[in-house]
Structure 1
Amino acid sequence: MGRVSQAQAEENRRRVVETASRLFREQGTHVSVADLMKASGLTHGGFYKQFASKEALIDEATAHAFDELTRLRDAGLAQHSGRRDAAQQALIDTYLSVEHRDSVADGCPAAALAADMAREPGDREARRVYTEGVTDFAEWLATEDENGISRLCTMLGALVLSRATKGSPVSEQILTTARTALTATN
């Protein structure tokens, strides 16, 4: 088999990182390299040409997931003509929706990766990236009257609980209650 061009190698790496970002949010970081590469449409052997280790991929995929979140927030801000309060409310409404609850692979990395990151050693790059991503998200959610951390905790906790209770009436009630609580504080 011939060598792939540098451009193709970069495309393959991008595809693996994007696939890993989605699979790790959906299934956890325990997904095997073989399953990850299969989902990427690439061979298992190609993994080690792109990444030093699975941990290196977890680091990169975590950063990619938080970059997606930042792009989403920035797009919301632009859509609302720079009005942060309107962009925050739109994000809260979307975050605490049935659609987001059901879209784990494309959803918030803070919620989806929390349990995995809690098991990571404190000196790991993925843990540092996760912590910075959570901090940045909380700062973005802050208002003049309310701490962003409390808003993020309400949102994240509600999302996790609604996912855990999906299929029962309490799942949507959790989302609605949290959305109402956050709207009442604005």
Structure 2
Amino acid sequence: MKVSAEQKAQNRKAILETAGRLLRIKGPEGLGVAEVMDGAGLTHGGFYGYFPSKEQLAAETVAQALAEATSYAGSAVDDAGFEAFLCGYLSTPHLDDVEAGCPIAATLSDIPRQPQAVRAAFAAGMENYLKATTKGHDRQTALARLAAMIGALALARALQGEDRPLAEEILAAVREDDRAG
């Protein structure tokens, strides 16, 4: 039975949503075709009707995840200001919500080992994220704030299973340091 163009678009969206969750949890290497398709409610064999390769899936997943994060973060900054956004970003709920949280912090150490298409999608997404979240700051300050914020979350997530108090202390230190600066 042939799938309508509308159904195909909905299926593709479901694939990318599932892949986005897995990207945050397992990184780009964790985007197994079988698991992604199963999570989207589709058969493994249908994958190549949507993407020419696993690499293309990873690149598009990174691009979409960063675009969604940029949209959310940019709106939060526009609505409440960078400081309020930073406090939410460096919060305990965001620390715990890896599956729906920041894809940048979740994939940061994996990206250098990815194919060029994935690295390019990440680089383009980062530039957009920088512009959306740090309006009104000079580029050097914006880069420093962004690096501290994302680095703190990535480090805290790496520690949270073994040393939760230290993980939360890192988040608090960067929140406070940003307010003082």
Q: TM-score, normalised by structure 2?
A: 0.89
CA gap 1:181/1:77 in 2 versus in 1, 3 angstroms: closer
Q: How many aligned residue pairs are there?
A: 176
Distance 1:145 1:20 in 2: 32
Residue 181 of structure 1 aligns with which residue? 177
Kept in 2, the 8 Å contact 1:137–1:152? The answer is no
Residue 159 of structure 1 aligns with which residue? 153
Kept in 1, the 8 Å contact 2:66–2:129? The answer is no
RMSD of aligned alpha carbons = 1.7
After TM superposition, what 4+ stretches of structure 1 lie above 4 angstroms from structure 2? none
How far is the alpha carbon of 1:66 from its aligned partner?
1.0
CA gap 1:157/1:165 in 2 versus in 1, 3 angstroms: same
Gaps of 5+ in 1: 81-85
| Range that drifts further, 132-141 or 14-23 | 132-141
| Residue 105, structure 1, aligned to residue 105, structure 2 | no
Q: Which has the higher contact order (CA 8 A, sep 6+)?
A: 2
Q: Deviations over 1:1-59 (max 9, x none)?
A: x1211111110001101110111111112221111111111110111111100111111
Q: Deviations over 1:45-98 (max 9, x none)?
A: 111111100111111111111111121123224534xxxxx2x11210111011
Distance 1:161 1:137 in 2: 20
SS across alignment from 2:3: coil
Q: TM-score, normalised by structure 1?
A: 0.87
Distance 1:145 1:132 in 2: 16
